[in-house]
Structure 1
Amino acid sequence: MKIVQASKLENQDWKFLQEKIELKNPLVLVFANRYMLEDEAVIADIRNQFPYEHIVFGSTSGEIICCNVNDNSISVTAIEFEKSSFIVKSDNILKYDKKAKLLGESLFNEMPKENLKHLFVVSEGSFVNGSSLINGIESGKPRSISLTGGMCGDDARFEKTLASYKENPKEGEVVLIGFYGETLDISFASFGGWIPFGPERKITSSKANILFEIDGIPALDLYKKYLGDKASELPQASLLYPLNVTPEGKTEPVVRTILSINNENNSMVLAGDVPVNSRVQLMMASIDGIADGAQHAAEIAMKNRKNPPQIALIVSCVGRKLVMNQRVEEEIEQVQEIIGENVAISGFYSYGEMAPFNGDSSCELHNQTMTLTLISE
């Protein structure tokens, strides 16, 4: 595997982390600030520096490269596989009337299955229901094929997100990358570090990812009561106080971030499904708790590997970044300490993270977690 990485801060020159060499048919991952991806001159510059066919674009809430976290930047990782291969498919949620499950089913059906080892998603993050997208992809997927990825971000603005494959970035795109080959060694993990607080309540009215009532009380009213003065800062304030949701019949909770609110009917739109009868609590976090969570995720991902990883794809939540603030790079450093300094690191801060629970094979949508996908061949 050959890897070339580069980053470019706004109004600055390109900085290459390795020697800039010509690669053969690489997978090129471009994670960047949404405003920069809307600039045709910036896209032309990226294509000039990386004149390859298979380019995947995704907007972010912060760009991760090596052990650095940048804002208002472009982060590019080009990967040439020696013994294995990849295939990329993409589609637009707007063609499916925003029905993410149908899109997921279609994308997976298009993907060749022979020797398929792992799937990685780079999805639109503004209005795609991540839980439904995962359900669609997994509806026909055998357990032997793992799935990870993330929802694109837009800093803490929540205005719109962009993604694409080959084409210039646009709204509504979902990209699915398939990794093929018997020599691939892929491991993954996801962990948060957030702490539930306050009484545990029950969701009494919801539809998919729209939450209407908790304990028979309008959900938004109850949430605003907890937030107090910070309620005027919704939905951004919700990134600091996500919901811990345990669906009926399940033992493992998932964390859910609020994407938008509706003051007219006192409802909240979350990044993933919140089924009726789920148990729910508010959550909070400390800087040390988040950094420790990142370290724990790395330890889990490294636990059963046969070979050292060559590249780590990291998807972490914008909520973690807001809590960590100036210390945000500490969680990346904690990961690097566990996986090794010679491992290339690429990734982004997101509106949702996709990975199985530790020890499980079926994927879940998470919020406020650090998710790692470690790859070697």
Structure 2
Amino acid sequence: MERWFGVGRSVAADPAVAGSKACREAVGGRRAGLLVVFASPSHATPEMAAAVHAEAGGDVLMIGCSTSGQFTADGHGGGVVVNALGGWSAAVRAVPHTETGLYEAGIAAASCLDDVAGEHKVVLLLGDGRSSDQQEMVRGAYTVAGAGIPLVGGCAGDDVTQTGTYAFFSDGSGVQVLPNAVLGAALAGPSPFGIGIEHGWHKTGDPMVVTRSESGTIFELDGEPALDIYLRRTGGDASLADDPGAFLNHATVRPLGLARRSGEDIRIIFAADPVQRSISGLADTPEGAMVWFMEADRDAVVDATAAAASAALSAVPSPLGVLIFDCCVRPLALGDDGTGLAVSRLRERLGGLPYGGFWSNGEIVRRPQAKGMHHLTVVALAVS
């Protein structure tokens, strides 16, 4: 069966109308095997999900999530984006957040691999964007996929409000809208999948050793209370520790870089505990790890979306389209002008190739050179 990839976008005010229109544009009269849906919180409704599914025939596999905005070649902002894929062997799983822990959710989501057949495989993960231990989901999925099958995806968004995220799911028989869920979709086919990852940040200052941490919370850096050294070296006033909102605004564009063989993984710091003098991120920063403060190279940060897509395309022989997962904090760091420029560069780099993406609460790549959860980063998946 011939493989194809289509993208549709609608900003119609009515969520159901937007979903139906975006799906119709993405499918273009073809028979889809998998839908991947991105929707702003205002459009992340059961009516929208049902309309998308019905427009595609009512019996198609579907995964999707709420976002902090989405983008295609036709523009960026709110509304609904539908990515439709046909011709691959596909399978899906959904794990409600109340059903199990994140490690077990990753195992269950990646078990969709059991139901696909093909020379080349990939697992697409859509995670719970409000979890503070997202790495556990990736670790669980890795126990199923192993080193030979890449994991790629992003975590659901909520317009950076921290109010809750939603996932859209169908195994072909009905439609579910689930809060804070973990979804998995396996794709398999005769051609390789390409993965790109870029961020555009660079390390600055002297390295530090994480001398005490637990999961995403860092208690000590170089044997000193982590909050104290963080505020001192980022120029933050001590009063920030007692104002969660002000601390978040200060910290989101002053991340840490975690040393990896392939460079640095970004760790966004989003909260501080003034009593324990600790700082917290959205992914594990293990004891003994070496970290740096990171600075943005503005032009490289702007170009990261296009660069990630280019890297993904370079790994496939005949690309059909690209899915992109772009950190929701990057628009805050870039501002409206920089965000618009990043989207424009992506459009120019990809020419007429279809693509769909969303601003996510964490980006996922698990392959030999990248260990799982990323932040302030762009991840791209090219299909061929």
- Smaller-chain TM-score bracket: 0.7 to 0.9
Residue 366 of structure 1 is matched in structure 2 by: 374
Mapped to 2, the partners of 1:251 and 1:101 lie a distance apart of 25
Tell me which residue corresponds to 2:312. 301
Q: Show the counterpart of 1:31.
A: 38
Say if 2:281 is the partner of 1:279: no
1:89, 1:40 → 2: CA distance? Answer: 18
Q: Is the 8 A contact 1:143 1:361 kept in 2?
A: no
Moved more, 286-295 or 192-201: 286-295
Specify the alignment match of 2:263 in structure 1: 252
Aligned with 2:162 (options 133, 158, 162): 158
1:168-219 CA-partner distances (Å, limit 9, x unpaired): 432231111100222x331011011012223321111111222112122222
| 8 A Cα contact 2:32 2:56, kept in partner | no
Residue 351 (structure 1) aligns with: 361
Query: Residues 125-173 of structure 1, C-alpha deviation per residue, up to 9 Å, x if partnerless?
Result: 1016222211111123243322111111122222322223124432231
The structural deviation recorded for 1:121 is 0.6
Match of 1:270 in 2: 281
Give the match for residue 177 of structure 2.
169
Structure 2: which 5+ residue stretches go unaligned?
none
- Greater Cα shift, 2-11 or 344-353: 2-11
Aligned pair in 2 of structure 1 residues 43, 109: CA closer, same or farther (>3 Å)?
closer
With over 3 angstroms needed to count, the CA separation of the structure-2 counterparts of 1:170 and 1:263, relative to structure 1, is farther
Provide the rounded CA distance (Å) in 2 between the counterparts of 1:9 and 1:282: 42
Kept in 1: contact 2:92–2:112 (CA 8 A): no
Report what 1:313 is aligned to: 323
Aligned to 2:102: 100
Alpha-carbon contact 1:67-1:332 (below 8 Å) kept: no
Aligned to 2:214: 207
User: Is the contact made by 1:143 and 1:362 (CA closer than 8 Å) also made in structure 2?
Assistant: no
Classify the secondary structure of the residue corresponding to 2:177.
coil
Residues 287-307 of structure 1, C-alpha deviations (whole Å, 9 max, x = no match): 312123334323322333222
Which residue in the other structure is 1:198 paired with?
205
Contact 1:4–1:20 (8 Å) recurs in 2? yes
Q: Is the partner of 1:185 in helix, strand or coil?
A: coil
> What aligned pairs does 1:27-66 form with structure 2 within 5 A after superposition?
27-37=34-44, 39-47=45-53, 49-52=55-58, 53-66=60-73
Number of the residue aligned with 1:69: 76
Q: What fraction of aligned residue pairs are identical, expressed as a percent?
A: 21
Partner of 1:129: 133
SS at match of 2:193: strand
Equivalent pairs counted in the alignment come to 363
Structure 2 match to 1:235: 248
Query: Which runs of 5 or more structure 1 residues have no equivalent in the other structure?
Result: none
2:231 counterpart SS class: helix
Deviations 1:34-79 (A, max 9, x none): 2431x444445545545533222211112122262213x2222222
Residue range with higher mean Cα deviation, 116-125 or 99-108: 99-108
Quick check: 1:90–1:174 contact (8 Å CA) kept in 2?
A: yes
Distance verdict in 2 for CA 1:18–1:109, change over 3 Å: closer
Code of the aligned partner of 2:107:
E
Instruction: For 1:193 and 1:200, locate their aligned partners in 2 and report how far apart those are by CA, in whole Å.
Output: 19
Q: Distance in 2 between matches of 1:251 and 1:291?
A: 21
Moved more, 203-212 or 135-144: 135-144
For residue 221 of structure 2, what is the amino acid of its counterpart? Answer: I
CA contact (8 A) 2:255 2:268 kept: yes
Q: Closer, same or farther in 2 for the Cα pair 1:41/1:86, shift >3 Å?
A: closer
Supply the RMSD in Å over aligned alpha carbons. Answer: 2.7
- CA distance 1:186–1:216, change in 2 (3 Å): same
Q: TM-score under structure 1 normalisation?
A: 0.86
Residues 297, 371 of structure 1: 8 Å contact kept: yes
Q: For 1:4 and 1:291, locate their aligned partners in 2 and report how far apart those are by CA, in whole Å.
A: 23
Aligned residue type for 1:134: V
SS in 2 for 1:372: strand
> 1:363 and 1:215, CA in 2 relative to 1: closer, same or farther beyond 3 A?
closer
